[in-house]
Amino acid sequence: MLTQERYKLILDLLKERDAVTVTELAQYTNISESTIRRDLIALDKQGRLKKVFGGAVSMKQIEGINEPAVTEREHIMTAEKEIIARYAAELIKDDDFVYIDSGSTTLQLVGQIGSTRALFVTNGIVHAQKLLAKGLKTIMLGGSLKQKNACVTGTEGVRALERLHFTKAFIGANGIEQDSGFTTPDSEEAAVKEMAVSRSFASFVLADHSKFGKIYPVTFSPISKCSIITDKLTDAGIADKTVIKEVSL
């Protein structure tokens, strides 16, 4: 049996059960357990499943409601976030009206923006401070403050966005999965993200490869509504649903 055929059998079984043992996979595929273990290691590296002791679990398992604070996330995948942000910054033109979402990758984007006459709106407190420090025209979204992520959420923020029409929006996401779309743990943050996407002519989700295959409790957009800028696409099927830009380290 060819390698890709084995991979498909393994992933098909995971879709049904969400968790399988090496022994179950060996019986299901009629392949030796040593070969199954090697396949699981390879698929784990591709981000298509999560290898655990004695077997594997589906990447579609919900990640839960907890997430690190934005100050902690700044130090994760920093090289990947920087190249994603650098490419995204090049998309901003002088006549743009831009929404920048809160989050660690979008904060990197702020750091990459050069001199421009574009007008910016953000719900990120640190994002607004850094935009102002650069001398850029900035509007801070009004609403309830979420201390952990230093951002504005809630109905006030959503209502403020209803009156605006952006040329471009740059959005952060915790999870990206074909069926569940772009997801985040917090329903109030999701509402702001959803409204920003709906009010923008073009929306870009900035996400490193670790976000693919993960699902958080709240979907804020289907895959088709936003283009994705990433360092590496680990789920080829997503390329059939939207525009993907991979930027190299």
- Give me the pLDDT at residue 102, please: 95
Amino acid of residue 14? L
CATH fold of 70-246 reads Rossmann fold (3.40.50)
Nearest to 39 by CA among 13, 3, 15: 3
Q: Are strands 166-172 and 97-100 parallel, antiparallel or unpaired?
A: parallel
Q: Tell me the domain boundaries of the chain.
A: 3-58, 70-246
Contact 35, 42 (CB under 8 A): no
| φ/ψ bin of 109: left (φ > 0), alpha (ψ from -120 to 50), beta (otherwise) | alpha
Non-local (6+) Cβ contacts of 69 within 8 A are 148, 149
Size of the chain in residues: 249
Determine the CATH number of domain 3-58: 1.10.10.10
Nearest to 223 by CA among 166, 171, 180: 180
Q: Which two tokens stand for residue 233?
A: 């696409």
Report how far residue 249's alpha carbon sits from residue 66's, in angstroms, rounded to the nearest whole number. Answer: 29
- Give me the pLDDT at residue 244, please: 97
Question: What are the average pLDDT values for consecutive 10-residue runs of the chain, which has 249 residues?
Answer: 87 82 90 92 83 77 62 73 97 98 96 97 97 97 86 91 97 91 91 97 96 89 97 90 92
- Give me the pLDDT at residue 121, please: 98
Tens of pLDDT, residues 44-90? 888 788 787 788 877 666 666 666 655 556 667 899 999 999 999 99
- Give me the pLDDT at residue 68, please: 61
- Give me the pLDDT at residue 174, please: 93
Amino acid of residue 79? A
Nearest to 209 by CA among 229, 194, 193: 229
